[in-house]
Structure formats: C-alpha cells, structure tokens
Amino acid sequence: MISQAPRYAQPQSQDPYWLNIKELPYFRALLRAVEAREYQDIPLEQPILDLGCGDGHFVTTAFETQIDTGLDPWTGPLRQAARRKSYCVAVHGQGAQLPFPDGYFASAMSNSVLEHIENLDPVMEEVVRVLKPGAKFVFCVPNHRFLANLSVSSALDRIGLKRLAEVYRRFFNRISRHHHCDDLKTWQERLRKAGLTIEEQWDYFSPAATHVLEWGHYFGLPSLVMHFLFRRWIVVPAKWSLSLTRLITKKYYKETRRQPQGSYSFYITRKV
C-alpha cells in the first residue's frame, strides 16, 4: 500500500500586517499581524484543528488555504467564520469535550485563546487525545511579563503608588479576560502532565509594543462605535485613511521577532 504524502497548510502570500490593519482596531491588528507572520514559518500538517477559532479572521491572514476544522463555544463568531469560509468545517463545542475521535488530527493550533480558559487541564488532555502520535500543537499566550510591561502601572510604581498600580493591573487583566499569564516553567509542567513536549519556545511583542496594545484599548473606542453602527471596525479600509495607524504601528511589526522581554510566548509542542 502506497502511503500518501503529508499535506500542509499553505502560508499566506499577502502581507499579514495589511490584512489585519485594514479590518481590525489597530491594537488588535498589530498583535495578530505579528502572530500571523510567525505561522508562515511553521509547517502544520493537515487535518488541522483550530481550537477557539472565533470568527475565523485570524487564519485568513495567516494561511492561504482553508483550515480543516475550527471549534469555538460561541455561535455568533462561528457564523462569521462560516461566512468567511475560513474552515472546511466550523464546529460548535467546548475544548474540554472535543467532538472528535482519538488521533483524528495531524496538528492543532490555538491563537491567544488558552489564557481565557480558567480550567485548562481538561482542555489540554482533550487536545492530546484527538492528535495523532507525534503531532504538533502550536499556540501562543501572554506570559508572566504581560502585566509588568503595562505602561500605566509601571509609571505608578515609579512614583510610589504601588497599591494603585496593582489595582490597575488587575483591572487590565479583567478587561483582557485573562485567567492565565504564565511563565515557561508553569507551561512546561502543564504540558508534561498533558503528554506534550516543547519542541521550540520564544517570547515576542516588546514592552514598547505592549504599550501600543494597552493604549489602543482606550484610543480604539471610536472603532467600537463604528462597529456598532456599520458592523465593521474599519469603515474605509484604504492606505490613505490608515496612514496614521500605519505610522504608529508598522515599526513594532518590523521589530526583531524574538524579544527577550516580550509580553507573549509562542510554543511549538508535540504529542509524546
């Protein structure tokens, strides 16, 4: 019997920066563009599971081809993913109870999702269950530097208002809906328990880029109004209308990809 050659997702040939900046509020667009660029160098064998796929926008900026399966617990974003045709199949489901047989996927990904899940262990176990032996699981998450790299709380620390700085960090973590901002050691233990080994890990998104992300939550409020009125974050997605946005964000997109003090971490893991 002749075995079929593995099929891999085709990386996006267009510029991930522009694909994100023309459709999302600038602070989200910058982070997602940086992450989409990273996936261009990571071969993911099909069939692929995207855990916590949301509206499917991210994979259209990271990959040229459809991803096999997207899974999310929210029906609204899933409908958007279906309209975008981001996935061959968009599935409504929970990460702790994946509706797939053992060893079904040749790889899996989860982009800035795991930090939002309070009880992670059952989810990690399920991901490992549905992966083939030796399959990759690629994900990115904010790390233990995320809160430390915030500009407002750092400024409050410098003038001695440490208690107020901690209040601000808790506030920002709450609006970011983070349950986990963990360091490498914590992830190593969590992954080991689940049956995954780290193949490669690096930190990205500098403290300066994190400041852009942080202040974007406040300066990006007009985009929220536009989305409410027109169901679009960016009303005029043209380079001339986004010139200021590009001026503010492009240099952070171009910064060195590995950042020792970065606020986020990328993991390439493999099922043992």
pLDDT given for residue 2 in this prediction? 52
pLDDT tens for residues 34-59?
999 999 999 999 999 999 999 999 99
Position 53: which residue type? C
Task: Please tell me the predicted confidence (pLDDT) of residue 38.
Answer: 93
Q: What is the pLDDT, as a whole number, of residue 189?
A: 97
Ranking 33-37, 71-75, 236-240 by mean pLDDT, the lowest is: 236-240
pLDDT of residue 8: 94
Q: Give φ, ψ of 171 to 5 degrees.
A: -60, -45
Task: Name residue 105's amino acid.
Answer: F
List Cβ neighbours of 185 (8 Å cut-off, separation of 6 or more).
Answer: none
Instruction: Read off the pLDDT of residues 178-194 as tens digits, 9 standing for 90 and up.
Output: 999 999 999 999 999 99
Q: Please give the mean pLDDT across all residues of the chain.
A: 94
Is residue 219 very low, low, confident or very high in pLDDT (cuts 50, 70, 90)? confident
What DSSP line would sit under 16-34, residue for residue? Answer: HHHHHHTTS-HHHHHHHHH
Fold classified for 16-271: Rossmann fold (3.40.50)
Residues 5-32: tens digit of each pLDDT: 889 999 999 999 999 999 999 999 999 9
In whole angstroms, what is the distance from residue 6 CA to residue 46 CA?
7
Say what the pTM is.
0.93
134 close to 6: Cβ distance less than 8 angstroms: no
Residue 233 has a pLDDT of: 73
d(CA 132, CA 140): 21
Between CA 190 and CA 27 the distance in angstroms is: 30
221 pLDDT more than 80: no
Predicted confidence band of residue 3 (pLDDT cuts 50, 70, 90): low
Q: What is the pLDDT of residue 259?
A: 97
Q: Locate 105 and state its tokens.
A: 């996927």
Q: How confident is the model at residue 230 (pLDDT cuts 50, 70, 90)?
A: low
* Segment of 41-50, 223-232, 239-248 carrying the highest mean pLDDT: 41-50
Higher pLDDT, 223 or 266: 266
pLDDT tens for 109-146 read 999 999 999 999 999 999 999 999 999 999 999 999 99
In residues, how long is the chain?
272
Q: Which residue has the tokens 């997702």?
A: 9
